[in-house]
Amino acid sequence: MKNLLRLIVPIVLLVSCKGGQQSSSSKPASKSSLSDSQRTDVTYLFFNANKEKILGNLNNAADLFAEVIRKDGSNHASMYELANIYAEQKKYSDALFFIRSAYKLDSKNEWYAMSFAEILQKNGKFEESATVYEQLLKDKPDRLDYYFEWASALIYANKLSDAIKVLDKLEAKIGVNKDVVMQKQRLYMQLGKTDKAIAEVQKLIDENPKDAQAYGMLAELYQNIGQKEKALEIYNKVLEIDPENPYIHLSLADYYRTNGDKEKSVAELKKAFGNKKLDIDTKIQILASYYALIELHPEMKEQALEMSKLLIEANPEEPRAHAVYGDFLIQDKQYDKALDEYQLAKKLGAKEFTIAQQLMFLESQLQRWDSLLTESEETISNFPDQPLGYFFNGLANSQKKKYADAVKSLNTGVKLIVDNKNLEGQFYSSLGEAYNELKDYAKSDENYEKALELNPKDVNVLNNYAYFLSVRGEKMDKAELMSKESNALEPDQGSYEDTYGWIMYKQGKYSEAKIWIEKSLSHGSDKSATVLEHYGDILYKLGDTNKAYEYWQKAKNAGEGYSEFLDRKLEGKKLIE
């Protein structure tokens, strides 16, 4: 009973998995004269091999099929199955040996022939593959798809004229067909026979004089061979036949662009974008091409924004339309408007991570920390494996002075990063800042060191790490070197110059400190309470107490950023440290 059950299980599996398409390999076919016991042994091996194949154990299946062939050298079904396994494993040479053997033993088997033709092509034997398809059609003359396969094999064999003859035979059976005509037209163009290519497309027009697509193909042909006036004439004919067809406007836009008439090209493109019949995927694909173009031609930014608006007008409820517009608004640094568009995309149902990513970026850019905190928490909930949610959550918490929460998020997110040194470095840099605010200076330094190990030339890390060390009065030689390097890498940056000036101050080099802080003030730091207060401190050390008081007052008026000692400095008109 156990042996019988072992045979029944693979048979049932075979029947349930094969469905309606059965090849001759569903039984261990053989013309050899085996004894009954040998035949039983072969049958048992064959069905077990099929079971292993169905279960996905291809190596085990291959071993069993090979054993069948060793026991029964004429078992073409096992040869067929083994060939297909080898083909799936990309062992095309081995596959060809076994499928050729199976085909020789049973050349009338359609499944063998199809696999033989396909595996021949995998081995680069295209002419022989074409011969197999030709024979297949003699046996199965009603299989129209074999004509395409036969022609395709001939094309790969670079026998284009022979491929055309095969397609002619197909056309004789089914009449004028658009797929056949398009293939023949392309082949004639490759052969340089433009008149015959045109004649092929003309057949479609003769068959259906209102076929706008055929006219469009003909116009493109004329344009490709340099007959521009003829092409324009055909395009205008399409407009007469199908004035609401948006694709003709795309073709005309391309036509005018190719011929240097940008104004007409843009006008036609706008007509296409304003047409609700033009599918949104095509519109987005066209707009996507603008991203790279704008880098080379910034003047095209306005055009892209206008096209995006047309996209939204035609597709107001489509989230992708608002997201695309948001992308171009970001390029134009219109962050407020971009944020509105992304929020609308989200409201309309966009659930992609890229939408959440852009929302977090924009809220960070606009310093909307409460919104960023909410958005990042939602992103972490929806995309727990994405590190960016944790990064922006850490940033938002740091800005809200919730440094312990920031550390928690950042330490979680950094573990999720894979092959992204820049992002990993930003995590460690943010951790360095958060730990510094928590006065855990050992961990702060440790994380800054990790950030520099990943990106030794990161100017922000060099500057911030140097500044925190200088404030603490620790490792001043190291701080000086890092700050000096940040200024060399990015000169004329006010915040970097302030750091170097402050390090000079902490080392007692007041004249040098004055020079660097003045540089900082001239490069945009004249509204910074921190820098203004630093300058006042330096002036005091240099004996200019009146001017020092003046700059302390400026620091107070500038708003946030001044030290806890400033009020006492102003009250006593003297330096407090």
Domain ranges of the chain: 1-123, 527-577
pLDDT of residue 10: 34
- Cβ-in-10-Å burial (0-12, 13-18, 19+) of 541 comes to middle
CATH assignment of 1-123, given 1.20.950.20, 1.25.40.10, 3.40.640.10, 3.90.740.10?
A: 1.25.40.10
pLDDT of residue 28: 52
| Amino acid letter, 433 | E
| Amino acid letter, 370 | D
Q: How far is CA 308 from the centre of its chain?
A: 21
Residue 564, φ and ψ in degrees, nearest 5:
-70, -10
pLDDT of residue 16: 30
Which segments of the chain have a pLDDT < 50? Answer: 1-27, 30-31
Q: Does pTM surpass 0.85?
A: no
Tokens (6 digits) for 135: 């024979």
| Amino acid letter, 535 | Y
CA nearest neighbour of 363 among 381, 401, 386, 389: 389
End-to-end CA distance of the chain: 95
* Helix residue ranges per DSSP H, 175-318: 178-190, 194-207, 212-224, 228-241, 246-258, 262-273, 280-296, 301-314
Report the half-sphere exposure of 440 (CA within 13 A, side-chain side).
Answer: 14
Cα 436 to Cα 394: distance, rounded to the nearest angstrom? 14
At which residue do the structure tokens 């030339």 appear?
457
Question: Using CA of residue 30, residue 31, residue 36, residue 38, what is the dihedral sign?
Answer: negative
The answer to whether residues 211 and 223 touch, using CB atoms and an 8 Å cutoff, is no
pLDDT of residue 380: 97
CA nearest neighbour of 103 among 123, 70, 128, 127: 128
pLDDT of residue 290: 83
CA nearest neighbour of 56 among 97, 17, 12: 17
Tokens (6 digits) for 341: 């568009």
Q: Which residues contact 498 (CB under 8 A, 6 or more apart)?
A: 516, 517, 520, 525, 528, 530, 531, 534
Q: Which residues contact 428 (CB under 8 A, 6 or more apart)?
A: 414, 447, 448, 450, 451, 454
Cα 288 to Cα 300: distance, rounded to the nearest angstrom? 13
Q: Which residues contact 192 (CB under 8 A, 6 or more apart)?
A: none
- Cβ-in-10-Å burial (0-12, 13-18, 19+) of 226 comes to exposed
Instruction: Indicate the Cα dihedral angle 489, 494, 500, 502, nearest 10°.
Output: -170
pLDDT of residue 239: 81
Cα 254 to Cα 241: distance, rounded to the nearest angstrom? 20
Cα 71 to Cα 438: distance, rounded to the nearest angstrom? 77
Cα–Cα distances in angstroms (integers) from residue 474 to residues 440, 480, 500, in the given order: 14, 11, 15
Instruction: Indicate the Cα dihedral angle 421, 425, 426, 432, nearest 10°.
Output: 170
Q: Which residues contact 502 (CB under 8 A, 6 or more apart)?
A: 467, 470, 471, 513, 517, 534
3-class DSSP state of 451: helix
Beta carbons within 10 angstroms of residue 175's beta carbon: 9
Cα 218 to Cα 232: distance, rounded to the nearest angstrom? 11
